[in-house]
Structure 1
Amino acid sequence: MYVDTSGDLPAPDDRRARLRAADVDRELVHEILSAAMAHGSLTPAEYEERAGKAVVAKTFADLDALTDDLPIAQLGVAIPAPSLAPGPRVTGAVGADAVRHRLAIMSESDLTGTAVVADELTATAIMGGVKLDLREVEFASPVLTIRAVAIMGGVEILAPEDVTVEIGGLGIMGGFGGRSQRSTRPGAPVIRVTGLALMGGVELKIPKRKAIDDHD
């Protein structure tokens, strides 16, 4: 993020530009803008205008537009290196369209892609299957609680590699499992899984990131 034309920092890529920004990213922009005003690169009026835009910025592209003409290297602000495969982020983008339920009765129901998930998500599979692929979703809350119920059916949860995972739940003539882990990445979301597997199965998996990510 945030380009220095001196070449000290890598240029942003299109994939990253489309990603939703989080509060920590907007705060970093404010720090850069404040330093730029103190350095004389921005007038107070320019700082006020850009700071206002940073508050409502939604993507990295929005934030980059506010800082890409500033001499970042001269401002003394530590800038994190950009990543082609950034970890999952908590955006706080909760709204009416946030996903809260997935239900499959003698059928299948999937959650994939970049949907926004609320702080609680209920997955119910009755003689059917629910698959929750959380590897690209936007987390509206720092903690996502998944209540999974599988009755003669199955609930499969695919979690990102670098999140904290806490597994609970009960299996009766069925299986309720997965591997808990603790993330060391600052700001990583927490996924808590609870619920019931009755003559069915609930399983959380943490797939390794595909090698294709290194070539996109």
Structure 2
Amino acid sequence: MEPPPPEMRIGDRERREVDARLQEALADGMLTLAEYDERAALCWAARTRSELNALTLDLPEPPPSEPTVALETAAPDAPATPDSGLVGRAIGGLVTAAVIGGGIFVGIQVLSADDGASVFGSRTVNVGSDQQRVEVGMMFGSLRVIVPDDVSVRPSGTVIFGSTNCNEACRTGPYLREVAVEADGAFGSVSIMRQSEFDRAAVIDRDRDRNRHDDSDDDSDDDD
């Protein structure tokens, strides 16, 4: 009996699509912050379609996209230029070189981050009450930056093939001091949160874990 053929590998386009679905589920309250961090790390480490599909099996399908009408911008009978293949290969080579160069640059920034870095895992960095600038890094994982409640964050840095989330912490207001957070990384997520926002998410996670534990105890009692 012949072994089954190897599963086709996936690329960054598929990883970005799944990460976008996970972010929407987090915003809609379907996933807790801890669940999103765990799944996002697995998403950017996935190599096959089955590994990605397992991350969204319990999430509803996204609504169908609106159909778009393509507009003709060139004459239908316009002949192809003789050197179009050469130009395409040249452009592809430049893009590949740019991506490799960007990855090397980001990797150096991550390893040289002064206030903490997360590589192949998750980490939480707490910002002190007197800090005015924070440098953090992330590679193939997730990183949470927790700032005081009286802070308005001014984010900067480069995250390639990933995301930086800063909702409440980036809002400005009176009596809020500004803190610059430079987050560099690739293949993962950076979440910047105020302390109260982080505490609320922790309470929600704890309550959900308690409810799941109670439900499992009820099921075991019914079996008895």
Larger radius of gyration: 2
Q: Same fold (TM over 0.5)?
A: no
TM-score, normalised by the number of residues in structure 1:
0.34
If asked which structure has higher relative contact order (CA below 8 Å, sep 6+), I would say 2
